[in-house]
Amino acid sequence: MSSPTVFSALIAGLLSFLSPCVLPLIPAYISFISGMSTGELSNKRARGRVFQASLGFVLGFTLVFAVLGVAFSGGARMLQLAGLSRILDLVGGIVTILLGINFIFDFISFLRADNRLIGRFSGKKLSGNLQATLLGMSFALGWSPCIGPLLASILFMASQKGSAAMAFLLLLIYSAGLGIPFLLTGLFFDRAQPVLRFFKRHAKQVRILSGLILVLMGLSMAFGQLGSFPSKTAALGYRLSGFVGARPGLAMGMDLTLYALLLLFAAQPLLAATKAVGEKRPVPGRLSSFRIAIMILIGLLALSEILGGFRLLGALASWLGSGLTPRQP
């Protein structure tokens, strides 16, 4: 399986986690499956219990999604053998485009059904790893109206692999993109709150990005180009590698510019504090340890770039080139 295909499935899972009808309910999910209040979740002593419950929940919906991928792949394979693969691509593409447009404009009301489903569990708690796993399997169906568009795009992608094992693996990767942030939120609940609030504030942008990705994938399906995506990304990696080799100075300048922008973004609270002092306003708090660690990492990468070590564009070119080799004419 190519790296770009793996990356697509992982990003689809992450966007599912960030979906505006999933992300706001994450604290309620974690509280419900662990049997603890949101205030208790911030207690470091509760991390082990919360992590076990979260892991059971993730395993539950991962199993459902993976089995669904195998079943869908088998059905698609039968249609391909019957000579209907082109119709499958066209129908799948049109449906994916429609769902992508709905992600942006939210005009299909029944795709918001999961909000009402989850609301029935408000104020209740559940404990036990087995119960959490069963609940994860149940919520995989409850989430489907919301994350269905992204899940459907990965299912169509899996159907073109021609192998149930590959489809199973692709859906596992999708589940990892959805499940790993869930596990990290449960494990570091107190520190995850600022990140959750950030994405809640930018929920509209997440919806638009998700919708645009789905529309592009739908167009690729409809025109029969989705299967050639890995080879095209590999070809892009080869061209990018040639650019880095021919213009190393310019490539380094582009890398360092990106590092500088990332540093400015990470140091935003510190810059806001400097501006506040000049305007005689209350000064915000200091940089968090997480932001400091990110800034140190960015600085080390930039230093490595200058010393001729790690090259960001070079690494990106190698990663893209690790996909399928472009077909020979």
The Cα 312–Cα 240 span in angstroms is 11
Sign of the Cα pseudo-torsion (14, 18, 21, 22, in order): positive
In this predicted structure, the answer to whether residue 279 has a pLDDT above a threshold of 70 is no
pLDDT at 280: 52
Which amino acid is it at 320? L
What's the DSSP call for residue 224?
T
Q: Which two tokens stand for residue 181?
A: 């942030």
∠ CA 85-87-90, nearest 5°, is 110
Cα torsion through 33, 35, 39, 44, rounded to 10: -80
pLDDT confidence bin for 117, thresholds 50/70/90: very low
Integer Cα distance of 265 and 272 in angstroms: 11
Tokens 């309910």 map to which residue?
25
| Residue 144 vs residue 316, higher pLDDT | 316
Token pair, residue 204, equals: 């509209």
225: three-class secondary structure by DSSP? coil
User: ∠267-272-273 over CA atoms, to 5°?
Assistant: 100
State how far the alpha carbon of 216 is from the alpha carbons of 167, 212, 223, in Å. 21, 6, 11
User: Cα separation of 170 and 63, whole Å?
Assistant: 12
Q: pLDDT tier at 115 (50, 70, 90 boundaries)?
A: very low
Share the mean pLDDT of the chain. Answer: 76
Whole-number pLDDT of residue 179: 92
Can you give the pTM of this predicted structure? 0.67
Question: Residue ranges per domain, the chain?
Answer: 3-224, 235-321
- Cβ atoms of 135 and 126 closer than 8 Å: yes
Q: Mean pLDDT throughout 87-112?
A: 75
CA distance 71 to 75: 6
Give CA–CA dist 61/25, Å, rounded.
16
Residue 57 tokens, joined: 């929940």
Residue 123, classified by CB atoms within 10 Å of its CB into exposed (0-12), middle (13-18) or buried (19+), is exposed
Locate tokens 């942006």: which residue? 104
